[in-house]
Each structure stands twice: as C-alpha cells, then as structure tokens.
Amino acid sequence: MATELHDLRPATPISAAGQKWIDDTLGRLTLAQKAAQCLVILPSATTDGTPDDATFAAVRGGLGVLHSITDLTASTAARYHSTVGSASVDAGLPPVFITGNLEAGVGYSLGATGTDFPYPRGIGMSGDEDLAYRVARRAAEEARTLGYRWTLSPCVDVVTTPDDPILGVRAYGVDAPATSALGSAQIRGYQDAGVLATAKHFPGHGDSAVDSHLDLPRIDRTSEDHAEVHLAPFRSAIDAGVASIMVAHVVLPALGVDEPASLSSLVNTGWLREELGYDGLIITDSLRMKAVAARYDAGTAAVLALRAGADVANVKCPADQFPAVLAHVVGAVKAGELSESALDAAVARLLAARWRAGADRPVEYDEAIATRYDPPLEWNDEDRRSTVTVSTARPVTHPLRPGTSYAVIGDTGLARRVTELIRERGFAAHLVADRPTAATLAAAAAQTAEPSLIPVVQPSLPMTGDERRQLTEATATPGVARAVVAVLVNSAAEADSLPDTGCPLVTMPAVDAFEMVTDAAVRAAVDALC
C-alpha cells in the first residue's frame, strides 16, 4: 500500500488520525528511544550492500534519523532504506527517517547514480525561479522513489565574503532578495514532491572567512546586515513552509552569540522559535565538524544542542559509536541537565513531520522503478544553458563544428569529462592531459591554424590572486588567443567578473570544495560551445 502524503508545511494542522498516531507513538517510547529519535548517525553496509550489525542495532534501538548511505547504486540504496525502515517497525518503532545532502540530486550522496542536477550556484546564475522549482521537484521525486524523505537543502546563505572558503557552488551566490526567491522556490519544489526541505545554515554562513569544517568561524556582523541580509532568506523560507532549518557552527559576538550558534539557546529558542515564530524541525549542522568536534566529544555536543533547543542533534557518527552517544544523552536527562519535556516536544515535532511526509510507514522497495536510476542520467532541461555564464565582452564566436578536431587541455577529471561530452555530441576531441599554462597552450596553438583549443581550468574555490594572474598569462602568448574556442573555468564567479583572458570565457559551477562534480554544469558548458 502506498504511503499517504500530506501537506509538509509545519503550520498545516494535523488530522485527528495523524494526531492520534503521534500521541500513541510518543506515549509508548521509552526515555532511551525518545533520546535516540533525536539523533542522526552515519549508516554502514556489508559487502553486498545490506545494513551491517551496528546499523541494525542502532535502528532497533530507536534511532530517529539515518544519514544517507554512500557509494551504492540507486537500487541498492533503495533496498537498504527499505530494510532499515522495516527493522525499525519490527522493533515497535517509527521507521527511521532517511535524509542526506541532495543539493545536486541523489548522486551527491550515492555517487555516479541517478540524475545530476545543477548546484545552487548554477540556479543562481540562471536567476530563474521556475527553473529552481523544477530542479528541486524533479530531484525530490527521484529521491523519494529511492526512500529519501528529508533533504538537507537548500543552502540559503547570502555570500558577502569575497573569499568565501566554504560555500562556493553550494550557495546561490546572489543578493538577499534573489536568494530568498530562489530558496523559497526550491523549498516548494522539494516539498510538493513529498520530501522535507531544509533551509541552511541559520543564521547565515555567507560572511564567514573560516571553513567551519576546519575551525569555528567568528563573524563580525552588524545588526543591520544580520536583519536585512542574512536573516531575510530564512524569513522567506519560513513563509514558504520549510519543514526544517539547519543551524550553523558560527559565533556572532556583536550579537551576543559567543558559543557555536548550533549550541546556543539564544539562536535556537530565542531567534528561531520566539522571534521568527518557527515551529518546524531544528537540526544542527554536522557535529563532527571541527568547529564543534575540536571542543566537545559527540555525546556532550548532542546534549548541548538538544538543551539549546534543537530537535535533532546531527551527530553524524559511525553506527558503532551510537550506543555511547545515546547513553550520554539519556544520562543527561536523568541527571536533570536536559529536560525530558523538551525531549518530548522535539520527538512530537519529528513525528508530525513523519506523518506529513508519509514516513510513518517503511519505505516500499520497488526494484523495477529503483533500477531506472542506477546509471548516471542526464538532466536535459530546456534552460540548462542558463546555469553557466559566458563573457559578454568575449562571447563564443567559433562554436563547435564537424570536421575539426578539438584539443581539451587540462589535467583533471573535469577536463576528461568535458572531452567525453564533446565526443558524445558527435564532435572529434582529444584530451591533452597537461595544466593549461602559457607553455602548454603555446605549444598546442603552434599546431593549429584555427580555433580548436579548449583549456579547462579548475582553480581553488575561491580563485586566488595567483590563479587569476596565471589564467591571463596562459593566454597572453602571441598566437594563443586566436586558437582558443573558449576557456572553461570551474567557478562560482560570473564570467564577466574574472580577468580578461583575451579569449571567450565560460564559468561553470561544476565542482565543489569537496571535489564533488555535477554533470549538469559540464553539459551546460558544452551547450555554450555549440
């Protein structure tokens, strides 16, 4: 029997049947099971792609949220999700919630499987709310088929730091009003397809000069910027009915936040619950990130987060560490350090979200449907081309044509993929696996009498000053510019904001700071060459 789907917005009233299920479920959970409901851990699998003993033990012990499995095909992941959900129910518990970072589709978590969608920066480059909605809805439809009921996206941070070290292609990269509009469109798209959306990273991470994966960012933000820039997209997200909000590991001393926001009652309870009136799920960013993990062990961090007002402590520890973290949380309740009534309220919100998303029953595994998403699939939206930018001063004037053999110059996987996709379009292309320096470009230009070189540059995110200089120097050698079809640059920047290379320039937000690649941007860049 298909799971029933309701309106996912937190403000939508729960039906009498739904409220009875919530009350009955909450009433039969033990203290340990309620604490377990409020934790997220990482799953693990045996060599045949089934849950291992530690994961089974966690879900049978009451685990509420399981982060996405990785490196499995879509159909194997779907079977895995169905198996762990059934194990929860067999133990008399709600089926474990399956969540993950799906900001570029299921492949962002699973690997080379399913459809690659554009990163948020590509959507920001398009500026198209309808496109934003279509991407989110289609991604959610695919994810839901495979058992996901909750995505930890979209990222609605407004990037105001020129040397942003963490967001890059994972943010829309536009101003607060445009971020608000695109983020709200994606929230509606995800949730119209039955997957809970998450606006992150509250109260804004776009003005951080430090990567919170590595250390705790201290942000000197004025109250005006806080209210008018960084909170604006979250207000819009709440108005759009976002089911959950993720809180960041940042400190804001000027605003009275001297501890990580994720562990701050001022941020969780004061700002989110009381000032913004938000009644959906609050989840922390990963507590394994060094911004928190360098200061607290996992159990302590979980207690601090729940005590501050989070509904879900995103511990994200391996499954075999779950018992120790759970024992720490239960011990804190028994010692009076964490209120059981607050725990009950958090679990009730989680159960309400389950009911709305039809996650009160185990995921149904349909092998015939799930296997459709096993191979990498093309996102072929009619507006795909708009998700990359081309220099207006130097547009592509020599598009790809039959009869010319194109040399793609680059020593990265991105360059290899560009080569493959040009060939897929029916043009001749070969890879020159060298860095596109002045020397390599000059040598290649000397061998051609027509535009046939396609340098692919994958700089740091953000691009350093040295990398900007090298980009222009590489094409400054006499004879090089006339041989270049276009320079393709992996970047969150608009093409017109980069140095003039003397050649047509295309920027594509294809690779993030974790070296995750979305084929959607690479295909859009090749579109720009045709």
Of the candidates 155, 151, 77, which has an alpha carbon nearest to the alpha carbon of residue 114?
Answer: 77
Of the candidates 432, 528, 440, which has an alpha carbon nearest to the alpha carbon of residue 489?
Answer: 528
CA distance 95 to 1: 15
205 close to 212: Cβ distance less than 8 angstroms = yes
Beta-sheet strand order (sheet of 313-318): 150-151, 97-100, 65-67, 39-42, 313-318
3-state SS assignment for residue 329: helix
Over the range 401-423, which residues count as b (16 or more CB within 10 Å of their CB) and which as e?
eeeeebbbbbbbebbebbbebbe
CA distance 329 to 253: 28
**Could you say which DSSP state residue 18 is in?**
H
CA distance 487 to 53: 50
- DSSP-assigned states of every residue in 441-466: HHHHHTT-SSS-EEEEE---SSPPHH
Q: Are strands 428-432 and 487-490 parallel, antiparallel or unpaired?
A: unpaired
Q: How far apart, in Å, are the Cα atoms of 477 and each of 152, 435, 470, 473?
A: 46, 15, 12, 7
Residues with a catalytic annotation lie at 213, 285
410 close to 455: Cβ distance less than 8 angstroms = yes
CA distance 450 to 452: 6
Quick one: tokens of 343? 């725990």
CA distance 206 to 178: 14
- DSSP-assigned states of every residue in 383-403: TGGGGSEE-SSS---S---TT
Give the N- to C-terminal CA distance of the chain in Å, as an integer.
47
CA atoms within 13 A on the CB side of 235: 12
CA distance 325 to 46: 23
438 close to 471: Cβ distance less than 8 angstroms = no
CA distance 356 to 17: 12
